Chains A and B, each alone.
Chain A
Amino acid sequence: MSYSDEDESLQYNSSGSNHNNDAATVILMGRRRSGKSSILEAVFHKMKPWESVYIESTAKPEVLNVASLININLMELPGQIDYVDPEYDNSQMFRQTGAIIYVIDAQDEYYGAVRNLIRVVEKAYMENPNIRVEVLVHKIDGLSEEFRDDTVRDIKDRTSEMLYDGGLESFAGIDFYQTSIYDQSIYEVLSKIISRLIPELPSLEHLLDNFVQHSAIEKAFICDLKSKLYFVTDSSPLDSKIYEVCAELIDLSIDLDSLLGGNHDDDSSSLEGSITEGAITDGESTPKQKRLRCVSKLSSGIKLYLHEVLKDLCLIAFIRDDGIGADDSATLAVLDYNAAIFRKGLERIFHDRL
């Protein structure tokens, strides 16, 4: 396969994505077999992590469009091709890009990867000084706990040293994360990266903070039902475990729904007499389908609340009851009411797009 072939396919893909010009582009890079395709398959196509060992090596750039609260083109560049080769015209590519996700295999020798990363950063920074570079120290599950932090620190130190040598010490848009597809870490990190690209993030966060305050919620997320990624969370500190449980609740709701939830194309008959929607819609926006709503109670007064506020977009709340005035039905009624208001707010922010 020659370079010109690759060039064409890249051209083709990027011109294909011109149809939605407002889409932000995220480039996924890294050496071959570092786990780029596995990440995309696991997160966006529900592939079981252990099945990802069978994925063929990616031969040409592939674009995955994620359209939800934000429209994102995730472009995966195969690792065996050197995209920062001076002969290769990549200026266009980096200029349109919001973030580069650079995947490093933590289980492999990573000096080469770090050197390659530096060249990518140099080039990208030259073309687009506002670009963000997010480095995933991936496959971290293969390292024992005590080596994980050391490995990340080593990669970080090497990178900043080499950036300094290259006169790029002022570049601040680089972050390092530990990820694995065997746990929720990849979801959490991708969520963080993507949510940064949402232009309306501050207003959304404000909206969510408001919701949290008025409903006695400990933590709330707006999640994509398909990928489990969260786009927004309220401004209180994030506990990974809480996100993990929330993500698991999405899995459960989706799986049970597809298994037992009944016919999904049936959108007219399910409308009448729908008890849950009836209470919170105000008639002006009639939903085509009854949306998912799920309440789960756990011991020690914990409640999880999931409500699909827009298609494939859900609001999840983690509630810890202190036992004072804990009337379940009242709490839920307040939640439902506030969720409806929240949805209106969301619709107002995105009225042109949704």
Chain B
Amino acid sequence: MSYKNILLMGKSGSGKSSMRNMIFSNYSAIDTRRLGATIDVERTQIRLLNNLNLSLMDCGGQDSYMLNYIKAGSTKLNNAELLIYVFDIEGTQPKDFEIFNLILNTLKNLSPRCKIFLLVHKMDLVNEEEREKVFLDFYVGVKSSSNLKFFLDQNNVQCAQTSIWDESLYKAWSQIVGSLIPETQALQKHLKNLGNIVSAEFIMIFETSTFLKIATHPNSLPKDEQADLDSITQRVSGIIKNYKKSVEKISARFRSLTLYANSKSIYLDNLTDNMVIMIVIPDSKIEKDINKSTTVKISEEKYVQDVIKRARKTFEKLDFSGKK
């Protein structure tokens, strides 16, 4: 089985392992206090979706380790698909940029096609009004690293601000995972069909173990709400993750949820072994649509469950391995 190598790097104490454990091991932000420093490299194998296999290498960030990775003969940076580099917004010194630059230099030779994701972390320490500016200033600073230009030219660099205390973490990691899924057009097409069948306002698909967003489809969402779609999806990720976590305390697993809210119905259900779907339907819209043609009254809940059941087969066939 082939794995995509993902490097998680950054200076010691910048928050790499905290992130990793929150995203992949269901830690809550407060739990990360327990984590100690990562020694050398911690390798985690992650299977997302059907056949997207990732090998995440959490690289200890002490200077001595960092210099070790770029020593001649070290194979750590070989065949990397993606480098996630974490900067601590408060504690980054000029020396750390130098190391970053050295890493990039080695990476350029060993994995020239590597994508780079820069996370400017611990943004919660910055005053809320100044965040955007501080972040941009920092990014400009990072961009000046001479070896980043090589990757920038290939359009392979992305940058995001994160904090483990709000949904920005999920946003950034959704982007990261999204960049690894090669074909989303097929997925989008299916979502659109599904959206029309159930008269949905909004559909969203999550990955089961991390609850990161894989795809969304704003079927009939009002324009002004579409603008906040990103922030809505991130917050939904966070909310459901919390619930999922507490459910595990009574040694059960999340299966499905139906919520009748003020004027919408919200359905959450397993779509495949690796995907959870959320469908938001405006009130009584579907009732009118489905009961128009038939004389037999069907409840919305039954109908949606049935549609999801039928959709499963289609979605199970989707291939995310990136093989052509």
Chain A interfacial positions (CB closer than 8 Å to B): 48-50, 182, 241-242, 244-245, 248-249, 251-253, 255-257, 259-264, 266, 269-270, 272-276, 289-290, 292-300, 302, 329
What's the Cα separation between A264 and B253 when bound, in Å?
Answer: 32
Is there contact, CB below 8 Å, between A255 and B262?
A: no
Is there contact, CB below 8 Å, between B236 and A256?
A: yes
Does B202 touch A at the CB level, under 8 Å?
yes
Is there contact, CB below 8 Å, between B287 and A266?
A: no
Is there contact, CB below 8 Å, between B255 and A245?
A: no
Report, nearest first, the 9 A-B pairs whose CB atoms are least far apart.
A261-B261, A262-B263, A273-B284, A248-B246, A298-B252, A299-B253, A257-B261, A297-B255, A296-B257
B283 nearest in chain A by CB position: A270
Chain B interfacial positions (CB closer than 8 Å to A): 29-30, 165, 202, 232, 235-236, 239-240, 242-243, 246-247, 249-264, 266, 280, 282-284, 287-288, 299-300, 302
Is there contact, CB below 8 Å, between A290 and B243?
A: no
Is there contact, CB below 8 Å, between B250 and A276?
A: no
Q: Most chain-A CB neighbours within 10 Å: which of B249, B258, B263?
A: B263
Is there contact, CB below 8 Å, between B261 and A292?
A: yes
CB-CB < 8 A to A50: which residues of B?
29-30, 165
Is there contact, CB below 8 Å, between B258 and A295?
A: yes
Q: Most chain-A CB neighbours within 10 Å: which of B264, B280, B282?
A: B264
B238 nearest in chain A by CB position: A255
Chain A residues touching B, majority SS = mixed
Q: Most chain-A CB neighbours within 10 Å: which of B202, B232, B246?
A: B246
Q: Report the minimum CB–CB distance from A14 to chain B (whole Å).
A: 37
Is there contact, CB below 8 Å, between B252 and A290?
A: no
- Can you give 19 A-B contacts (C-beta < 8 A)? A245-B246, A249-B243, A252-B242, A253-B259, A256-B259, A256-B261, A260-B202, A261-B266, A262-B263, A270-B283, A276-B260, A292-B262, A293-B260, A296-B243, A297-B255, A298-B252, A298-B254, A299-B252, A329-B302
CB-CB < 8 A to B259: which residues of A?
253, 256-257, 292-294
CB-CB < 8 A to A294: which residues of B?
257-260
Is there contact, CB below 8 Å, between A245 and B30?
A: no
Is there contact, CB below 8 Å, between B282 and A244?
A: no
What's the Cα separation between A297 and B267 when bound, in Å?
Answer: 12
Is there contact, CB below 8 Å, between B257 and A251?
A: no
Is there contact, CB below 8 Å, between B246 and A244?
A: yes
Q: Report the minimum CB–CB distance from B287 to chain A (whole Å).
A: 6
CB-CB < 8 A to A276: which residues of B?
260
Q: Report the minimum CB–CB distance from A311 to chain B (whole Å).
A: 12
Is there contact, CB below 8 Å, between A302 and B256?
A: no
With A251-B243, A252-B239, A274-B284 given, is the CB distance from A300 to B252 under 8 Å? yes
With A245-B250, A261-B264, A270-B263 given, is the CB distance from A298 to B255 under 8 Å? yes
CB-CB < 8 A to A293: which residues of B?
259-260
What's the Cα separation between A252 and B258 when bound, in Å?
Answer: 11
What's the Cα separation between A50 and B283 when bound, in Å?
Answer: 38
A272 nearest in chain B by CB position: B284
What's the Cα separation between A266 and B239 when bound, in Å?
Answer: 25
With A245-B246, A245-B249, A248-B246 given, is the CB distance from A262 to B262 under 8 Å? yes
CB-CB < 8 A to B253: which residues of A?
298-299
With A241-B249, A248-B246, A255-B239 given, is the CB distance from A292 to B260 under 8 Å? yes
What's the Cα separation between A295 and B258 when bound, in Å?
Answer: 5
CB-CB < 8 A to B262: which residues of A?
257, 261-264, 266, 270, 289-290, 292
CB-CB < 8 A to B251: which residues of A?
300
With A49-B30, A248-B246, A249-B243 given, is the CB distance from A297 to B263 under 8 Å? no
Q: Report the minimum CB–CB distance from B306 to chain A (whole Å).
A: 13
Is there contact, CB below 8 Å, between B260 and A252?
A: no
Q: Report the minimum CB–CB distance from B285 to chain A (whole Å).
A: 9
CB-CB < 8 A to B249: which residues of A?
241, 244-245
What's the Cα separation between A193 and B263 when bound, in Å?
Answer: 35
CB-CB < 8 A to A253: which residues of B?
259, 261
Is there contact, CB below 8 Å, between A298 and B263?
A: no
Q: Report the minimum CB–CB distance from B251 to chain A (whole Å).
A: 8
Is there contact, CB below 8 Å, between A275 and B266?
A: no
What's the Cα separation between A261 and B256 when bound, in Å?
Answer: 18
CB-CB < 8 A to B243: which residues of A?
248-249, 251-252, 296
B243 nearest in chain A by CB position: A252
Is there contact, CB below 8 Å, between A260 and B252?
A: no
CB-CB < 8 A to A249: which residues of B?
243
Given A275-B300, A302-B250, A329-B302, 4 new contacts (CB under 8 A): A241-B249, A296-B257, A299-B253, A300-B252
